[in-house]
Structure 1
């Protein structure tokens, strides 16, 4: 999959494609349906399938302190898009200049002059441009004038309700990992690099891999049964994700993973942590001894689970 960062990096060779536009946060089953149609139409036209995304996501630009938690950071999103058979991703920096670009100018500058779009695949609720003035009907009319066609993706439902990134976030916030998996089409996971932390876990006889999150908020919090991929092997583990109320924190969320019976140095390694079941909410403990007892109980619960459900 080819990644193009910014309109200024588009080349004449990038013209001619079937495209779709959106945040694609989580690349859930609704997104996957759009991407499947993108692949089909790209094959019919004999051109690449291109996904146009934004960094940061628009709501992160407008209200950074109140934007919803990311389901996937850019690197994770690109990996998922690649797995869906996307040929090319155009990643646009969402800044003041792009925010002020009107719908008609966006179509002409990005879709027509930049990408030479033959057909556009979008959700029927898609809106874009300055003040979200562009919608599906606008695109259809613009396509007639500019020489491309527009197709609306069918709504995908699970349990009688539309699949959406916000619904995935709510399922994760509720600790309903089974529903999140049904909406995503896979278990929810977070990937990141192991960095040095406070090494408190060693003092509690439960050393942890501290995963760099690079996000202000997380879609879920608490203590979970997880697996962690290490050197090609899926390892049973437990994880705490959240604000760590019992220890001194800088106000940013942390992901700490304890791999059961693992011996080795993980610093600098990139781990994918797959969330399987919630054990409990985060809570503040009055002492390190109380925290140690709770961690011991969490590990005991994890061992019992993995004995009954071996990998």
Structure 2
């Protein structure tokens, strides 16, 4: 899969493709169906498949202090897309100038002159261009003018409702990891590099791997049973805490993982953390002794969980695809 960062890196060889445009946050089963729809048409026409993304996501640009928590950062998104039939990903920088572009200019400069798109898949609620003036009907009219086909995304429903990033965020907020996995087609995961922390967990007898998240907000918080991939031995079971550590006056959201029966130096390793079960929300305790007792209980609960855990292995190729 080729990653193209920015409009200025488009080359003549990138012209001629089938494409889709969107946030693809989570790369869930609905997104996967769109990619499958695109791959079928690409094979029929003998053209590469192109996914077009924006960074930051438009809502993050317009509402930076009130943006919804992402399911996936860009790197995580690319790792997920590599598992499917995507030949190229174009990531466009969403700026004030870009947001001011008129819809017809967007179509002409990007879809026609830049990529020479022959087949475009978008949602019927897709909006683009200055003040979101462009819509599906405008794209369809442009397609007739310039000679490309515009079609609706296939809708995927589970339990009678459309699969969406919003629905997955709601499941995660409710602590329903099983439902989130059902909608994603895999366990919910976060990725990042193990970094040095303040060693606070070590003083309590539970040294943790501190993982940089690089997120403004996270869709999950609390205490979880997790599996960690990316280490020499994998997966490694663990107890994870996502939160601000209110007992010690923390303010920044951190991901800390206590790896069960594991004692190796892993600073600098890039790991994938699969969230399997939520036990409780983060709490503020009256003393460090009380905090230590709760951590001991959490670790015991996680051990019990893994004694009965029988993972579904339909996604066994994850480690190979993201290595």
Q: TM-score range with shorter-chain normalisation? A: over 0.9
**Structure 1 residues 76, 257: CA separation in 2 closer, same or farther (over 3 Å shift)?**
same
The corresponding residue for 2:120 is 120
Kept in 1, the 8 Å contact 2:21–2:51? The answer is yes
Whole-Å separation in 1 of the counterparts to 2:138 and 2:260? 55
Kept in 2, the 8 Å contact 1:20–1:120? The answer is yes
The corresponding residue for 2:320 is none
The structural deviation recorded for 1:154 is 2.1
The corresponding residue for 2:94 is 94
**Unaligned residue ranges in structure 1 (runs of 5+):** none
The structural deviation recorded for 1:232 is 5.0
The corresponding residue for 2:144 is 144
Whole-Å separation in 2 of the counterparts to 1:47 and 1:144? 19
SS in 1 for 2:237: strand
**Structure 1 residues 27, 62: CA separation in 2 closer, same or farther (over 3 Å shift)?**
same
Q: How many positions carry a matched residue from both structures?
A: 310
Whole-Å separation in 2 of the counterparts to 1:147 and 1:39? 20
Report the aligned-residue RMSD: 1.1
SS in 1 for 2:193: strand
The corresponding residue for 2:83 is 83
Does residue 235 in structure 1 map to residue 223 in structure 2? Answer: no
Whole-Å separation in 2 of the counterparts to 1:237 and 1:192? 16
The structural deviation recorded for 1:131 is 1.2
Kept in 1, the 8 Å contact 2:37–2:154? The answer is no
| 10-19 or 251-260, larger mean C-alpha shift | 251-260
**Unaligned residue ranges in structure 2 (runs of 5+):** 312-323
Whole-Å separation in 1 of the counterparts to 2:91 and 2:23? 10
Kept in 2, the 8 Å contact 1:217–1:252? The answer is no
1:66-89 CA distances to partner (integer Å, 9 max, x unpaired)?
000010001000111111120001
The corresponding residue for 1:5 is 5
Whole-Å separation in 1 of the counterparts to 2:55 and 2:213? 17
The structural deviation recorded for 1:52 is 0.4
| 123-132 or 28-37, larger mean C-alpha shift | 123-132
The structural deviation recorded for 1:266 is 1.1
The corresponding residue for 1:248 is 249
The equivalences for 1:55-204 within 5 A come to: 55-204=55-204
SS in 2 for 1:121: strand
The structural deviation recorded for 1:247 is 2.0
Whole-Å separation in 2 of the counterparts to 1:183 and 1:2? 27
1:1-49 CA distances to partner (integer Å, 9 max, x unpaired)?
0011111110101000000000000001111111101111111111110
Kept in 2, the 8 Å contact 1:71–1:219? The answer is yes
The equivalences for 1:25-44 within 5 A come to: 25-44=25-44
Kept in 2, the 8 Å contact 1:54–1:93? The answer is yes
SS in 2 for 1:233: coil
Kept in 2, the 8 Å contact 1:218–1:242? The answer is no
The corresponding residue for 1:263 is 263
Kept in 2, the 8 Å contact 1:69–1:217? The answer is yes
SS in 1 for 2:248: coil
Whole-Å separation in 1 of the counterparts to 2:268 and 2:39? 36
| 298-307 or 186-195, larger mean C-alpha shift | 298-307
The structural deviation recorded for 1:308 is 2.5
The corresponding residue for 2:318 is none
